[in-house]
Amino acid sequence: EVQLLESGGDLVQPGGSLRLSCAASGFTFSIYAMTWVRQAPGKGLEWVSTIGTNDDTYYADSVKGRFTISRDNSRNTLYLQVNGLRAEDTAVYFCAKSLVVDGRGYFDYWGQGTLVTVSS
Amino acid sequence: DIQMTQSPSSLSASVGDRVTITCRASQGITNYLAWFQQKPGKAPKSLIYGASSLQSGVPSRFSGSGSGTDFTLTISSLQPEDFATYYCQQYISYPLTFGGGTKIEI
């Protein structure tokens, strides 16, 4: 059974940093791209960042230069280093596993999310 | 960036109703379109990928159609557990983008 368990969310002051983690199990982590998606309170879903199997990375413009996605295949864990946090980064952060079909990856499994609150 | 526009943003329906949600992409995405269901306080759940392929375990009352820029999600007979918010998402190119969501209410 595929399981994704996020952790690391917290209340942090503007300008602060956090490292979010997503522990994966139930599948061969190293052969799948992984993604972070966030959802601000009462709002819709927003793609944040994706890391491919070759460590190729992609970022939304809103987080580029402040967030860094990485993975540790030996620990089956996905990370998101978030720096320079702003109030608008307040959200639940979900990790998602990508399954490639016809050359493109869609999100077939999601974790339960971890809440990041940015406030003074 | 590809903009995804869903309509309606909300709708009221009853158990047993046939419900259709539309999603329009600002440019052609062939069939790289997914649909997700989200209940309050829960993670999104994958329903459909490739515009019309049902994710394993998803009931057959859910179906998707469309190609290019116009897509639909249909629930043939609404069940109590289907009251939720539904999102479309394109995955043909970065940045990946979601529609604004459609909330189905009783």
Question: Residues A36-75: pLDDT tens digits?
Answer: 999 999 999 999 999 999 999 999 999 999 999 999 999 9
Q: How many Å apart are CA B27 and CA A31, to the nearest integer? A: 30
Look up residue A75 and give its DSSP letter. T
Q: Which residues between 5 and 44 in chain B have a beta carbon less than 8 angstroms from any beta carbon of chain A?
A: 31-32, 34, 36, 38, 42-44
Average pLDDT of chain A to the nearest whole number = 96
Paired with B87 in beta bridges are B36
| Out of B45, B46, B96, closest to residue A47 by CB | B96
The reported pLDDT for the residue numbered B104 is 97
pLDDT for the residue A52: 94
A56 inside 8 A of chain B by CB: no
- Is A6's pLDDT higher than 90? yes
Distance, CA of A94 to chain centre: 6
The predicted-structure confidence for A81-95, as pLDDT tens digits, reads as follows 999 999 999 999 999
Q: What is the pLDDT of residue A100?
A: 85
- Average pLDDT over every residue of B23-43: 97
The verdict on a CB contact (< 8 Å) between A101 and B100 is no
Q: Residue A105's pLDDT band (boundaries 50, 70, 90)?
A: confident
Find the mean pLDDT for residues B9-37: 97
Let me know if B83 is exposed, middle or buried by CB neighbors in 10 A (0-12, 13-18, 19+): middle
What pLDDT, in 10s, does the model give residues B56-80? 999 999 999 999 999 999 999 999 9
Bridge-partner residues for B46, per DSSP? B36
> Is there a contact between B44 and A108 if contact means CB atoms under 8 Å apart?
no
| Cα distance from N-terminal residue to C-terminal residue, chain A | 40
Q: Does B90 touch chain A (CB under 8 A)?
A: no
Residue A102 pLDDT: 78
Long-range CB contacts (within 8 A, 24+) of A27-34: A27/A2, A27/A97, A29/A71, A29/A73, A29/A76, A29/A77, A30/A73, A32/A97, A32/A98, A32/A99, A33/A98, A33/A100, A33/A105, A34/A71, A34/A78, A34/A95, A34/A96, A34/A97, A34/A98
What is the Cα–Cα distance from B62 to B54, expressed in whole angstroms?
8
Q: Tell me what pLDDT residue B106 has.
A: 82
Give which of A107, A84, A95, A81 is closest to A24, Cα–Cα: A95
Task: Reply yes or no on whether the pLDDT at B92 is more than 90.
Answer: yes
